[in-house]
């Protein structure tokens, strides 16, 4: 497996539940909690990547299952990815923590996975992160805290084409545009969790495997 695939692979193995729709990649919505009752946000320190403690054969089988099957169990005929440098922009009404968290995440992807990924303010970004309210997300996908969709650049665009081939992951051959929809009124930790999970799935494998313990 090429080195640049390892971090998206490990990031994608995160705490999702099956999507409410078989063709959608989501993170499950959580019950709101008051700020005073929440633990301190987790902070990443300098991280040293280590080889996975499993055989190459097992790692290959895990990668195949992650890459060619969705959370719902739906099969994917091909592995898709961005071909070339990837740009990321933020739109909507992001909370104060989203910008620094996204910067830290992009730095990790560049340094640890050697992915050519960078922020942009241009409208033609490969990945668009749109920050909207939880209520807005729940109107589209009631069980989702956040989700990622291909071939759209905004939630308004997604709502217009959500039931068409344009947003069907199983029909995708290569990735060029992906949007991530994240709540702007959730706890800072939930926003960070959504950001890490959905950016990873925007870049790499779409599935989650709970049996893999060494996930981010």
DSSP per position, 42-91: P----------SS-HHHHHHHHHHHHSB-TTS-B-SS---B-S-EEEEEE
Ramachandran assignment for 92, one of left (phi > 0), alpha (psi -120 to 50 degrees), beta (any other)? left
What's the pLDDT score for residue 17? 38
Residue 166 has what DSSP assignment? G
Question: Coil, strand or helix: which one is 17?
Answer: coil
pLDDT 10s digits, 51-100: 667 788 988 888 888 889 888 888 899 989 999 999 999 999 999 999 99
Higher pLDDT, 146 or 209: 146
What's the pLDDT score for residue 90? 98
Half-sphere exposure of 175 (CA within 13 A, CB side): 27
Do the beta carbons of residue 27 and residue 144 sit within 8 Å?
A: yes
What's the pLDDT score for residue 52? 64
**Tokens representing residue 94 in the block:** 């992001």
pLDDT at 11 over 60: no
Specify burial of residue 128 (Cβ count, 10 A radius: 0-12, 13-18, 19+).
buried
The dihedral built from the CA positions of residue 119, 121, 122 and 127, taken in this order, carries a sign that is positive
What's the pLDDT score for residue 206? 87
In this prediction, residues 9-28 reach a mean pLDDT of 50
What's the pLDDT score for residue 164? 95
pTM of the model: 0.77
Higher pLDDT, 203 or 213: 203
What's the pLDDT score for residue 20? 45
Please tell me the chain's helix, strand, coil percentages from 3-state DSSP, rounded to the nearest 5. Answer: 35, 15, 45
pLDDT 10s digits, 131-148: 999 999 999 999 899 999
């Amino acid at each position: 497996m090429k080195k640049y695939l390892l971090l998206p692979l490990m990031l994608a193995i995160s705490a999702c539940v099956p999507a409410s729709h078989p063709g959608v990649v989501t993170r499950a919505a959580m019950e709101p909690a008051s700020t005073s009752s929440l633990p301190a946000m987790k902070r990443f320190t300098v991280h040293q990547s280590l080889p996975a403690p499993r055989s190459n054969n097992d790692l290959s089988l895990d990668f195949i299952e992650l890459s060619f099957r969705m959370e719902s169990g739906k099969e994917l005929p091909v592995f898709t990815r961005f071909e070339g440098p990837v740009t990321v922009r933020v739109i909507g009404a992001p909370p104060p923590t989203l910008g620094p968290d996204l910067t830290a995440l992009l730095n990790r992807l560049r340094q640890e996975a050697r992915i050519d990924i960078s922020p942009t303010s241009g409208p033609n970004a490969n990945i668009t992160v749109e920050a909207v309210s939880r209520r807005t997300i729940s109107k589209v996908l009631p069980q989702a805290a956040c989700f990622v969709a291909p071939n759209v650049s905004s939630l308004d665009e997604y709502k217009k084409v959500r039931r068409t081939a344009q947003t069907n992951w199983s029909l995708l051959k290569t990735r060029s545009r992906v949007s991530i929809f994240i709540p702007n009124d959730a706890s800072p930790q939930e926003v960070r969790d959504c950001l890490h999970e959905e950016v990873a799935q925007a870049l790499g494998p779409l599935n989650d495997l709970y049996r893999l313990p060494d996930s981010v």
